[in-house]
Amino acid sequence: MKKIYIIALSIIFITSTAFLAVDGNGVDTDVQPTKIVYFYPNPASSFINFEYTKPLEKGYTLQLYNFIGKKVYESVVSGSKTTITLEGFYRGIYIFQLRNKSGKIIESGKFQIVK
């Protein structure tokens, strides 16, 4: 039993490390970027909060799209938190995009509205 346990752990270790991307200098290149936006509650019913982990430059915008791609909300980001009242929003899946002042998408994600 002990040998099977050690073999199983060895297989798990080998397969999990086999997928790490390493460049020619031995540096891990598969590093995930730090999240800037945290949103809650998800699923949401009457409101949703977007909190930013770092101060954002002027001109950043938060955009919401319904699942068919129609923009349903846009706001200039000011402060460390944005609260959106979901009155008038239909239930379903929505996509958010945080864009910088030149329009480049910095972060995006999806959330659900249940009513």
65 falls within a domain: yes
| Within-domain flag for 17 | no
**Number of structural domains found in the chain:** 1
Q: Which range marks the domain in which residue 88 is found? A: 32-113
What's the CATH code of the domain at 56? 2.60.40.10
Segment 50-62 shows an average pLDDT of 93
pLDDT band at 29 (very low <50, low <70, confident <90, very high): low
The percent of residues above 90 in pLDDT, for the chain, comes to 67
CA gap 27, 48 in Å, rounded: 39
Whether pTM exceeds 0.85 = no
The C-alpha atoms of residue 79 and residue 62 are separated, in whole angstroms, by 12
SS3 28: strand
Any domain includes 8: no
Q: Is residue 20 part of a domain?
A: no
